[in-house]
A = this chain, B = another copy of it.
């Protein structure tokens, strides 16, 4: 999916919601545990309930890898299920990978060839040749970690050379590798006050924004400081939607929660004059 197609979906669904499929086995509704693949069954019902309001889905790989082979199978089935049942959904492998060139190339193969993801999150520490192998696929994206939502972001991401912070250096340097059509950045909602500065460096790029909801970030603030005239935002919510309820009603409640977020997003998109 390319930049314009993603923007079209945002206008069509009046939403820039990315639903995070952080499908922690320990938190699944108990009645699903009898299924052959509880995680896949959970995802399937969540997707059916929320696809109307979500432009993107983002499974975090840790929740699948921690289940070994069964987890990997559930992940593959989830991507296939979205592709088979819903058109024009942007699917992100939240993998935070990154390795030397010939190795990153194989991670790219895993996510873009074997599985039909649109994007992979990549950690920038190892630099250009750890990132560019993910850019050799048409219409596939790198989402580079810039300023993350966790407490540990303070340890290194604000490291400062002259007047440039490390995450700003990541934003600047990586523009040599790909433009807004192929690269996005992770910027945590808990750092909304930094979005103004970030938009000075990358006015047009999409940002993937985690941390709204369970982690305490504000959607209003993110839109105020981060939205551009092509929206330029994918705001992720995981736990606050998918684990809002853990009874047999979980999908109905997830649908309500996703709709609530979408409604708020629709207002923000109208205020900006996008729809």
Contacts and interface: CB of A to CB of B under 8 A. Distances in A.
A180 interface: no
Contact of A76 (B68, B151, B173): B68
Contacts of A106: 24, 62-63, 65-66
A130 B188 CA distance: 15
A72 B62 contact: no
B152 A129 contact: yes
Q: For the complex formed by this chain, how many copies does it contain in all? A: 2
Nearest to A68: B114
Contacts of A3: none
A127 B154 contact: yes
Nearest to A26: B106
A85 B203 CA distance: 57
A140 B73 CA distance: 28
Interface string A130-168: 110000000000000100111111111101110000100
A126 interface: yes
A184 interface: no
Interface stretch (A40-48, A96-104, A265-273): A96-104
B110 A126 contact: no
A259 B157 CA distance: 43
Contacts of A151: 127-129
Interface string A13-27: 000000000101000
Nearest to A167: B125
Contacts of A73: 69
A266 B61 CA distance: 41
A109 interface: yes
Contacts of A123: 96, 98, 123, 125-126
Nearest to A130: B152
A150 B125 contact: no
Contacts of A99: 60, 62, 94, 96
A101 B51 CA distance: 28
A101 B73 CA distance: 24
Contacts of A97: 62, 96
Contacts of A110: 62, 65-66, 68
A109 B61 CA distance: 13
13 contacts: A62-B107, A62-B110, A65-B106, A69-B72, A96-B97, A96-B126, A98-B123, A127-B154, A130-B150, A155-B173, A156-B169, A156-B170, A166-B166
Interface of A: 22, 24, 60, 62-63, 65-69, 72-73, 76, 94, 96-101, 103-104, 106-107, 109-110, 114-115, 123-131, 145, 148-157, 159-161, 166, 169-170, 173
